Amino acid sequence: MNRRFLMATAALAGLGVAAIAVPLAAQDLPPLAQKDRYKVGFAQMESNNPWRIAETKSFHDTAEECGWDLIATDAAGSAAKQVADVDSMIAQGIDVLFLPPREEKPLIPAVMKAKAAGIPTFLVDRSVDPNVAQAGRDYVAFLGSDFVDQGRRVAEWTLENFDGEKGIIVELEGTTGSSPANDRKKGFDDVMAQHDNMEIVASQSGDFARDLGRQVMETLLQAHPDVNIVYAHNDEMAIGAIQALELAGRKPGEDILVVSIDGTRDALQAIIDGKMGVTVESSPFFGPLACETMKRYAAGETIEPWVQVSDRIFTKENAADHIDEAY
Ligand code: AHR
């Protein structure tokens, strides 16, 4: 296998891209010609939360500047529809595919079909099962955050800032089978497992959605009335959990600590209002990075398998400084 290592560095508006050393395996990938205009597919998974809406907007905002004739679809929360949307884009003759796979396994056929059709694919923000499909072989690269590290950073902040004796933790997981849900759980749980004074008493999916987060929190609160920490895999579920807690007479920020990931406007406001402790950033603004990476690939550069985005952290110290740029 023709593997080598390289360093990649980039800095783009809205996304910090870290320098990383990674192995490359670039055989068999479909090439991309250098042209003034490209027919580009962006197969979004759903549009039921601010993060997804901001990501889709970022692709639309980038389109003209990058010479994209953009076909953007919305799979409305269905992995099967997302696969069908990619099929339709292939039939329409796209030059490049940008795909945020809703779940790790069901979207693999879409990746493989795009490759078979000679279309270079870039996974954005979520990934697929690396045991089956691999960057540098089946798709060009994954553009996104280190979700394990996000979970780890939330756990570390919680350990430093929780002032009770024993942490009774409820975890609201993201979409079952998705890479951020798997990895954010691993990052957080692994850290907490090393601390005897921290116990995760329940961990259940709220599908990254505010309303489901609220419903799941309502149910788990009845089973675990002594909960004093909520870790949500995204801000939408954290806001839903805050609603459920307040309805039950709890005081988020006073008698229970809520911690999360993303950096939405509502989460930053909740931090400013003292109801949430921290949110580790996961930026949705992928359009400029997608444009830059695609152009590097068209120019013949070997792309690192993971174009890694670096994430900030928002707390009461800096939330007010960033709320105007939030989504
Ligand atoms: O894949 C990234 C995650 O997906 C975001 O954290 C979440 O809000 C979104 O739905």
DSSP string, 225-252: TT--EEEESSHHHHHHHHHHHHHTT--B
Mean pLDDT of the chain: 93
Which residue from 47, 52, 124 has its CB within 8 A of the most atoms of ligand 1, so it is best to mutate?
Answer: 52
The pLDDT value given to residue 28: 85
The CA 169 to ligand 1 mean position distance, Å, reads 21
Residue closest via CA to ligand 1's atom 3 equals 180
The pLDDT value given to residue 18: 44
Q: In the predicted model, is pLDDT for residue 142 greater than 60?
A: yes
277, 305, 319, 316: which is closest to 158 by C-alpha? 277
Residue 125 near ligand 1, beta carbon < 6 Å? yes
Encoded tokens for 29:
């990938």
* Residues 6+ positions from 285 with CB-CB distance below 8 Å: 13, 14, 15, 54, 55, 58
Which residue from 128, 208, 266 has its CB within 8 A of the most atoms of ligand 1, so it is best to mutate?
Answer: 208
User: Which DSSP helix (H) or strand (E) runs through 260?
Assistant: strand 257-262
| CB distance 178 to 126 below 8 Å | yes
Tokens 């900030």 found at = 312
Q: In the predicted model, is pLDDT for residue 17 greater than 70?
A: no
Which residue from 58, 125, 147 has its CB within 8 A of the most atoms of ligand 1, so it is best to mutate?
Answer: 125
Residue 287 near ligand 1, beta carbon < 6 Å? no
DSSP string, 100-142: --SSTTTTHHHHHHHHHTT--EEEESS---TTTS-BTTTBSEE
**36-144+285-309: which CATH number, 3.40.50.2300, 3.90.1150.10, 3.40.50.150, 3.20.20.330?**
3.40.50.2300
* Model pLDDT for residues 89-111, shown as the tens digit of each residue: 999 999 999 999 999 999 999 99
Could you give the CA distance from residue 223 to residue 3 in angstroms, rounded to a whole number? Answer: 52
Angle between helices 50-66 and 235-247 (to 10 degrees): 160
* Model pLDDT for residues 214-259, shown as the tens digit of each residue: 999 999 999 999 999 999 999 999 999 999 999 999 999 999 999 9
Residue 120 φ/ψ, nearest 5 degrees: -65, 135
- The rounded percent of the chain whose pLDDT value lies above 90 is 91
Looking from the CA of residue 262, the nearest atom of ligand 1 is: 6
The CA 14 to ligand 1 mean position distance, Å, reads 16
Arch. (CATH architecture) of 147-282: 3-Layer(aba) Sandwich (3.40)
The pLDDT value given to residue 27: 57
Residue 126 near ligand 1, beta carbon < 6 Å? yes
Residues of the chain with CATH 3.40.50.2300: 36-144+285-309, 147-282
The pLDDT value given to residue 143: 98
Q: Which of 12-16, 78-82, 93-97, 210-214 has the lowest mean pLDDT?
A: 12-16
- The rounded percent of the chain whose pLDDT value lies above 70 is 92
Residue 32 φ/ψ, nearest 5 degrees: -135, 125
Q: How many C-beta neighbours within 10 Å does residue 273 have?
A: 13
| CB distance 148 to 188 below 8 Å | no
Tell me the mean pLDDT in the region 52-73: 98
Could you give the CA distance from residue 256 to residue 168 in angstroms, rounded to a whole number? Answer: 10
Residue 261 φ/ψ, nearest 5 degrees: -140, 140
* Residues 6+ positions from 88 with CB-CB distance below 8 Å: 73
* Model pLDDT for residues 248-301, shown as the tens digit of each residue: 999 999 999 999 999 999 999 999 999 999 999 999 999 999 999 999 999 999
